[in-house]
Amino acid sequence: MAASLDTPAPTAPAPTAVVSKAVDTQTVAPGTSGGGAAAVSGVPTQTELLDFVRRTAADTELVSTLPLDPDGRTWIRLDGPAGSEAWIISWPPGTGTGWHDHGGSYGAFATAEGALQEDSLAARLPTEGWKTLELAEGVDRERKLTKGDARAFGSHHVHEVRNESGSEHAVSVHAYYPPLPLMRRYSRTGAVLRLEQVERPQEWQ
């Protein structure tokens, strides 16, 4: 089932989900963006999720079933390996997610068509007890993922993803475990990050 996304979701023709983009101030020092998943029986590892999104992104027949909408992102939900959830997502020119996390889930994503820019934080943010914090120098990371590129991320990963092309759609495949329990949306001004919204699955499914 495919759906259109008006503003920022990881993100069927049916429901429309709006995924938009924390006064105690804290400083977050450089660190890691989240550890790897332990290999537990019945639980997918980050490597397995990475392999899955790569294979799915290379499946041109499946990817082509996603309808493209020039006015908003669209997506199809898939069953991922070992109880994970997965999504094929389209990105019209100039669209993006805004800053967000994945509610404690780890995962991976791959670019199937076009190119995506990812900005992320090499820092572990506190999950509660703040509305606004100041990021320390050196926590910003960026990468460009073109067709066939993929990356895995840990359970504390905070990032934004966008299609910077002025004319071409991008398509990507994402997998998460456990299935996303929530997503925290942030706004950012310089080094200041502010928690704006906490979204639940019913808001984007």
Q: Say which CATH number the domain at 183 has.
A: 2.60.120.10
150: in domain: yes
Number of C-alpha atoms within 13 angstroms, CB side, residue 6? 7
Question: What's the token pair of residue 35?
Answer: 């550890």
What pLDDT is stored for residue 204 in this prediction? 72
- The mean pLDDT value of the chain amounts to 84
Radius of gyration over alpha carbons of the chain, in Å? 16
83: in domain: yes
51: in domain: yes
What pLDDT is stored for residue 182 in this prediction? 96
The confidence band for 205, taking pLDDT boundaries of 50, 70 and 90, is: low
Number of folded domains that form the chain: 1
pLDDT at 18 over 60: no
- Average pLDDT (173-187) is 97
Is the separation of the CB atoms in 54 and 150 below 8 Å? yes
What pLDDT is stored for residue 169 in this prediction? 97
Q: Annotate 84-138 with DSSP letters as a single string.
A: -EEEEEEE-TT-B--EE--TT-EEEEEEEESEEEEEEESS---SSS-SEEEEPTT
205: in domain: no
Domain region containing 140: 2-200
Output the 3-class SS for 166-187.
Answer: CCCCEEEEEEEECCCCCEEEEE
What pLDDT is stored for residue 4 in this prediction? 37
195: in domain: yes
The confidence band for 6, taking pLDDT boundaries of 50, 70 and 90, is: very low
> What are the phi and psi torsion angles at 3 (to 5°)?
-135, 160
6: in domain: yes
pLDDT at 36 over 50: no
Question: For residue 178, is the peptide bond before it cis, meaning its omega torsion is within 30 degrees of 0?
Answer: yes
37: in domain: yes
Compare 166 and 27 and report the one with higher pLDDT: 166
Is the separation of the CB atoms in 114 and 169 below 8 Å? yes
**What's the whole-model pTM score?**
0.80
Is the separation of the CB atoms in 15 and 9 below 8 Å? no
What pLDDT is stored for residue 90 in this prediction? 98
151: in domain: yes
| Alpha-carbon span 50 to 11, nearest angstrom | 16
